[in-house]
Chain A
Amino acid sequence: MTQVLVIADHDGSRLNAGTARCVTAALQIPDAKVHVAIFARDGAAVAAAASALRGVQKVICINRAENEHALAVQLAPQVVALMPSYSHLLGPSNSFGKDLLPRVAALLGVGQVSDLMASESAHRFRRPIYAGNAIVTLETDPAAKVVATVRIASFEAAGSGGSAAVETVNLNVPLPTHTRFISVSAAKSDRPDLQSAAKVVSGGRAVGSQENFQLIYKLADRLGAAVGASRAAVDAGYAPNELQVGQTGKIIAPDLYVAVGISGAIQHLTGIKDAKTIVAINKDAEAPIFEVADIGLVADLFKVLPELQALLGGA
């Protein structure tokens, strides 16, 4: 039987949007029964959100003081303790899942399928390599458990309207004390979340400064879009690290992606190739971004952005 455990990513009160996409990935595995596990100090609110995801059969909530901050070294032994009941373990391929799941896989003594983009059977999967420039089909040992991080851009979010039972579980697992949470600096923003936003406006090196990046924020706000950045813009300090889009940043699949002053290096394109519509604004007609753009405008961004703002009539 195919019993899939999805590890929820959340911030203590809200479920990260990637979790609903992992549930869809889990449901794609033939004959899967899908449970969602929540590790939290008090996971009630997150569990309620997870229980509403269509297709989820049960939500397991592991409340424990140590689970307030998701430290892989403390979560991993708890996940392992749940695994005797499951054949598959899935989590998002983001900074949470990439930290935790390989640790669990090693404790279980199995390899991991990273960035799962499709399941062809319970043990046959497709995943990208080389910045998405090749796709491999691979098979895991049918006798072994499957641990996979999910390329969340490859899946739609599971719908709502479900009402799975929520079970609170006590796991008496000793946890290591060799790793301690100190702090997290998260820029609180009312803007949509980059990973799950329907629209994204990204700025590149050409934007030129942190001040100029306000042009990107302004357009994003007018469109109701999240803000992204190329590596060059992040390295230069124009935008914070969590906005980096690409092979080694976030892989996203919005309906609309607007690339402003971004050349379109392979590493950047990997992050956006699933976007439905790509718009490129770049003054170099030869820039590789135009090879993938659905709508291209060869022009100076410092001319176009104010014009666009004026035409849109927004603040």
Chain B
Amino acid sequence: MRKILVGVKRVVDYNVRIRVKPDGSGVALDGVKMGINPFDEIALEEALRIKERGQADEVLAVSIGPDEVQQQLRTALAMGADRAILVKSDAAIEPFSAAQALLAIIRREDVRLAILGKQAIDDDASQTGPMLAALWDRPQATFASKVELQDTVARVTREVDAGLETIELDLPAVLTTDLRLNEPRYIKLPDIMKAKKKPLEVIDFATLELAVSAHLKVLKTEPPSQRSRGVIVKDTAELLAALRQRGLVS
């Protein structure tokens, strides 16, 4: 079976302005709106489109995290994923461990393509995709903005600093999504009902028996230094005068 694995991370909704806890122990998450990492919605959309074109048989949404992540996996099922797996862990998961866990699932499931987000908007790490590809010893195409699949290869256009780069990969492979890859679909009410009947398997992280060690110990979390509001000028001439006064324009 041609399976596509999609990484689904639960993160703080992108509209939320987060607050650092006064004691420096982290970011206040109680009662904060959560959702699927936006890049993972793009990853899932791409997987669904590949399947709808007849180039895949099953789309599998996988998340590593606490029990609450089931909400996001149900959302992924409602969007159209066929199955979901929660690798349950109450401890914070670093990208390296996430990559290890995703690889364990890949080995179990015989996955042909893994699609992840280019970055999770909470830790902004941008690591898991390349790490997974390295541990799997397979190709990677990060920052994908266009994906064309053939039988055994994928041709991927990537958003790089120079512009757009196209590379060709033998499958299986790992892709990470950039913003312009697609626009994720909206979920319709009947899909939410249907999703309740789709399989969502829960596996305890410990049962994967991964050699996990924490690599990065967080000592403290602080708010950033703030910029302050400056002056408002009244017209274009004043703007130019202000720029000249600061020596920014000759």
Contact = CB atoms under 8 A, between A and B. Distances in A.
Contacts of B248: 199, 255-256, 277
B129 to A, nearest CB: 8
Given A186-B163, A241-B164, A290-B232, A135 B224 contact: yes
A138 B236 contact: no
B168 to A, nearest CB: 5
Contacts of B94: 111
Contacts of A267: 14
B59 interface: no
Given A102-B131, A133-B224, A292-B227, A185 B164 contact: yes
Given A95-B143, A114-B125, A295-B243, A140 B215 contact: yes
B71 interface: no
A121 B17 CA distance: 31
Nearest to B247: A255
A186 B165 CA distance: 8
Contact of B17 (A71, A133, A279, A292): A133
Contacts of A137: 218-222
A299 B230 CA distance: 16
Contacts of B133: 73, 103
B162 interface: yes
B221 A135 contact: yes
A292 B138 CA distance: 44
B18 to A, nearest CB: 5
Contacts of A136: 218-222
Interface of B: 12, 14, 17-18, 20, 27, 39, 94-96, 99, 118-119, 121-135, 138-143, 145, 155, 158-170, 173, 178-180, 213-224, 227, 229-240, 242-243, 246, 248-249
23 contacts: A72-B130, A99-B130, A102-B129, A106-B134, A112-B125, A114-B125, A124-B219, A129-B124, A133-B20, A135-B223, A135-B224, A178-B138, A179-B139, A179-B169, A182-B155, A184-B164, A241-B163, A247-B121, A248-B121, A296-B233, A297-B234, A299-B236, A311-B240
